[in-house]
Chain A
Amino acid sequence: MTAGPDIASDNLDLRRRRARRTALLFGGIAVAVYLGFLLSGVVGR
């Protein structure tokens, strides 16, 4: 396994921007699991 391109960069702002994107992605996944789960209980009936 190798590191991503971010490892080569020591630009903190760039890394923080990428971190925000990562956070939004995983936050979206968490919300999708929650809502999808509730909807599956409702739609399935």
Chain B
Amino acid sequence: MAHAAVHDDHHDAHDHKPQGFLHRWLFTTNHKDIGTLYLVFALVMFLTGGSMAMIIRAELFQPGMQLVQPEFFNEMTTVHALVMIFGAVMPAFVGLGNWMIPLQVGAPDMALPRMNNWSFWILPFAFTLLISSLFMPGAGPQGGWTLYPPLSLQGGNSVAFVIFAIHMMGISSIMGAINIIATILNMRAPGMDLLKMPIFVWSWLITAFLLIAVMPVLAGAVTMLLTDKYFGTSFFNAAGGGDPVMFQHIFWFFGHPEVYIMILPAFGIASEIIPTFSRKPLFGYQAMVYATAAIAFLSFIVWAHHMFTVGMPLGGEIYFMFATMLISIPTGVKVFNWVTTMWRGSISFEAPMLWAVAFVILFTIGGFSGLMLAIVPADFQYHDTYFVVAHFHYVLVTGALFSIIAAVYYWWPKWTGRMYNETLAKIHFWWSVVFVNLLFFPQHFLGLAGMPRRIPDYNVVFADWNMISSIGAFGMFATPFIMFFVLWHSKKHGVVAEARAWEGAKGLEWTVPSPAPHHTFTTPPVIGPGDLAHGDISH
């Protein structure tokens, strides 16, 4: 296969991998190795958080108390969320960014490789600290991932450890974001203008700006929680003149952009995969970039839709309702463009495309239920019910997680030099699609019928849908193990992958051999006409 861009294969043929396990993985500054570390870490966290979800769903399999104490159930809901958000989804996207951004912009590595190593290695310590809080005297955190005071401050001393863990995760995220911005702005290959960058790179650039803007806000809020508990301040203590509702405002000023931090890279992945398997350029490349930026901007001005029921002036409720609805416009642009990219394309449904199409359909369901929640009078009914749980799991599981799996299948041949078995991958896909909908779709019905979230027991009227949801959860827990088998089978028996593993794939990452050598683009690639995913399209 001809390489589209001139590439210094001779130089890259000398792999120069560090020898020895510790030297290779503990001290690595190589973006591919650090990307792999992030992805493996995210996988471990997915299994950890998934195990906690199994405990939650097993307890909810039937009404009545079955397996665990209510306090432990609350610990599980709290830590499941923290682990999945900060330990699984975010690191998985950072891992994909680490692997692919330098390859996609033609850079030899991330701009600040040693800081990259630090960014990763903080994470295992942060999560060891977080999970160890479950075993501390006075129990682990039970107040939900939102850490609302005064509830979150009424537990034992584990809250101090959780806050320290959040600080460490924040530092890791901010350093990772700085590195990504510095790499994209300074390390692009000659000729790759900003509006010729792959859309995944664009989505990560905007995500990195979001991270730098909001992670310090979360750090500030939890620092105030810490001083309220241990140093006698009253930022959120009404008895001392503080305001607990202020914490909610501050938390969601971080929390809503955080949702987009977990979904914008997913948009980028779908925008890479759908054109490849439609064998067409992405429809409306510039519109996609501007829509991503618009979503990021809007994410800062809609936070209070998470707290309509707390009580706020009617004008505030109306503003936050309409501002939230505005988000559906740039999001609709994206969905329209993905569908239009497929329109009259020469489509084939290899596993990455299946996951990407499922992402578009199922994420849109999550988007629609989000619109329902944006309507103030309706939200007063839905708030804190299982409808909200169904909504954000459609966004984060069938949205973020499905895109991560799509990306792994899409770039796996580039990482390992082996193709996977399509039949096995399709079994993995269809198994996941069936069980994920069995798991989360009934939760809409439970929420509409009034079942509150974060409870270990419930009225018998909710029994049937809970049982179905739990069966879906048990089936869903098998999916990572199916995926392990598919990937293990690929490593052992997979067909050797070409440099351009997919017929319709464009972009610099497909110009280097598969597997990608340890060092790539040590001399910047010379980009010719037709080399880029988007650059040869007249805007």
Interface of A with B (CB < 8 Å)?
1-4, 6-10, 12, 15-16, 18-20, 22-23, 26-27, 29-31, 33-34, 37-38, 41, 45
Contacts and interface: CB of A to CB of B under 8 A. Distances in A.
Given A26-B212, A37-B217, 15 more contacts: A3-B194, A6-B186, A7-B188, A7-B192, A9-B190, A15-B187, A16-B186, A19-B111, A22-B178, A22-B185, A26-B178, A30-B216, A33-B213, A34-B220, A38-B220
A41 B183 CA distance: 34
B115 interface: yes
B187 to A, nearest CB: 6
Interface string B286-324: 000000000000000000000000000000000000000
A38 B112 contact: no
Contact of B190 (A8, A20, A34, A37): A8
Contacts of A2: 193-194
B181 A41 contact: no
Interface string B164-194: 0000000000100111011101111011111
10 contacts: A1-B193, A7-B188, A7-B192, A10-B524, A18-B186, A22-B186, A31-B216, A34-B217, A41-B220, A41-B235
A3 B224 contact: no
A11 to B, nearest CB: 10
B354 interface: no
A1 B205 CA distance: 15
By CB atoms of chain A within 10 A, which of B215, B216, B224 has the most? B216
Interface string B235-247: 1000001000000
B268 interface: no
Contacts of A27: 174, 178
Contacts of B212: 26, 29-30, 33
B193 to A, nearest CB: 4
A19 B183 contact: yes
Q: Which 5 A-B pairs have the closest CB atoms?
A: A19-B111, A34-B216, A37-B220, A33-B216, A19-B182
Contacts of A6: 185-186, 188
A20 B179 CA distance: 9
B98 to A, nearest CB: 15
Contacts of B111: 15-16, 19-20, 22-23
B328 interface: no
B220 A19 contact: no
A29 to B, nearest CB: 6
Contacts of B187: 15, 19
B101 interface: no
Nearest to A3: B193
Contacts of A37: 216-217, 220
Contacts of A9: 190
A7 B190 CA distance: 5
Given A7-B193, A9-B190, A33 B178 contact: no
B5 to A, nearest CB: 14
B235 A30 contact: no
